[in-house]
Amino acid sequence: MNEVLLANILTIIGETALFVASTRKNKKDILFFQIVCMFLTSISSWLLKGYSGIVMGVLGIIRNILSIRNIGSRALSYIFISSAIIFGCLFNSNGFIGYLAILANVSQSLFILNRKASTRQIRLACAFSSMCWFAFNLAIKGYAGAAFNIANASSYVYNAIKQPEKKKEETA
């Protein structure tokens, strides 16, 4: 099977999980479905030689697992975000476009690693991140991912506006 075709099939499955994440009502469910997406899209990035995408996917998986388990501190957040920037730059093989994967990861991390961030804030950060991934996917020929990124960004924004904020339950 052609690598580009296989990568796009994996991306379709992964981005479908991300779409499901955008409709979830609590932070842990959003993060779980994002893990599924990042696992599959990291494999896709590997097939398409988008190496900074792989690094950001792996770091995103670790970040989400830490957040789901409520493991973290301000120092850990700084270390994690610094690592994303350093490793993203080291593995960037796509010039400016590769930096969009780093920007996507860092922008999400600022909210996901913040225990006080609301589900609405996380959704809006994910919408911004999806737009960064849109450009990255176009550049590495991840066309299915790019199409889903637009749909996912729209869904995140729609659900951020539509669903009312809950005070305590969502931030846990």
Cα–Cα distance measured from residue 50 to residue 128, given in angstroms and rounded to the nearest whole number: 20
Average pLDDT rounded to a whole number, residues 27-33: 92
Averaged pLDDT for residues 36-58: 90
In tens, the pLDDT along 49-73 reads 888 888 888 998 998 998 899 887 7
| 97-140 per-position pLDDT tens digit | 889 888 998 998 888 888 788 889 989 999 999 999 899 888 88
Residue 42 lies in a domain: yes
**Considering the domain boundaries, does residue 154 fall inside one?**
yes
Report yes or no: 149 and 130 within 8 Å, Cβ to Cβ: yes
In a domain, 172, yes or no: no
Q: In the chain, how many domains are there?
A: 1
User: pTM of the predicted model, to two decimals?
Assistant: 0.79
DSSP structural state of residue 108? H
Element counts in the chain: helices (H) and strands (E) = 7, 0
Gap between the Cα atoms of 154 and 159, Å rounded: 9
Where in the sequence is the domain holding 110, given as residue range(s)?
A: 3-163
The reply to whether 171 falls in a domain is no
Residue 168 lies in a domain: no
| Cα 97 to Cα 6: distance, rounded to the nearest angstrom | 22
